[in-house]
Amino acid sequence: MPEIDAKGRPGISPPAPPTPGAPQVGDSGNGANCSTWGDDPPTNGSPGNGGFPGSNGQDGQRGEDGSSLQLVVENFLGGLSVDCSGGKGGDGAPGGKGGPGGEGGRGGSGNGCEPNASGGRGGQGGIGGKGGNGGDGGRGGDLTILYRNLVGSTPVVRTAGGQPGVAGNPGAGGDPGPGGVNGDGTTRFLEGGSGPNGARGDRNGTEGRQGNVIIAPNPAP
């Protein structure tokens, strides 16, 4: 019994998008204000500003559709076995990771007065960016079989449309920004704390659709 065995080309699964870079460092705090009359001690350096939030990750790309396949079968004597399928859809890309939060600003200096004052605390690091959404899976390729002039036993047909592509996962949240450096002075406060992690992407991509199967007589040319 003659056999036909063929598969459509699978779709390409795209890579994850790149992670954004870190934003600029937060602004530094102001330096100590010296006493005008010498009666009061100078104020301490002010805290550094918080780091800027990280950029959100990009959404993952949709997987490529699997290629469709068409077969024309004619003038066979005897049975025929057909085992074919359309190409599998490409998997959706995962969402991009969120960008890291920015570094907190440097605390203001407490030096430069008489007497010197304490330096300001470093600013808190920025929050990491939110992860991107996962990409949708690609659609499975269609399979079409057209037949004419088959004589003998009924064809044995094992066919399927291409399998759907798998949905992409959401991207991870960005890393927290580091705390800012303390300002110089007679006393150094604890450095600014790290910012919070960014949130994970909202959703997975959608799975692609199964390819169709069409088996029909081939009209005369």
Residue 73: pLDDT band with limits 50, 70, 90 = confident
The DSSP output letter for 38 is S
107-121 pLDDT, tens digit each? 888 888 878 888 888
Contact 76, 151 (CB under 8 A): yes
Q: Kindly tell me if the per-residue pLDDT of 1 is higher than 60.
A: no
d(CA 195, CA 127): 5
d(CA 75, CA 149): 5
The DSSP bridge partners found for residue 216 are: 146
- Alpha carbon 105 to its chain's center: 29
Q: Please, is 75 exposed, middle or buried when counting C-beta atoms within 10 Å of its C-beta (0-12, 13-18, 19+)?
A: exposed
Contact 147, 73 (CB under 8 A): yes
d(CA 110, CA 32): 5
Average pLDDT, the chain: 84
CA-wise closest residue to 8 among 160, 218, 156, 215: 160
What is the model's pTM?
0.79
Give the percent of the chain with pLDDT over 90.
41
Q: What are phi and psi of 157, to 5 degrees?
A: -115, 120
Contact 60, 16 (CB under 8 A): yes
Residue 6 confidence (pLDDT): 78
d(CA 208, CA 63): 8
27-44 pLDDT, tens digit each? 998 988 887 665 667 788
Contact 113, 39 (CB under 8 A): no
Residue 220: pLDDT band with limits 50, 70, 90 = low
Residue 151 confidence (pLDDT): 64
Least confident span in 6-20, 60-74, 188-202: 188-202
- Section 16-22 average pLDDT: 93
User: Which is more confidently placed, 28 or 158?
Assistant: 28
C-alpha atoms less than 13 angstroms from C-alpha of 81 in its C-beta half-sphere: 5
Residue 199: pLDDT band with limits 50, 70, 90 = very high
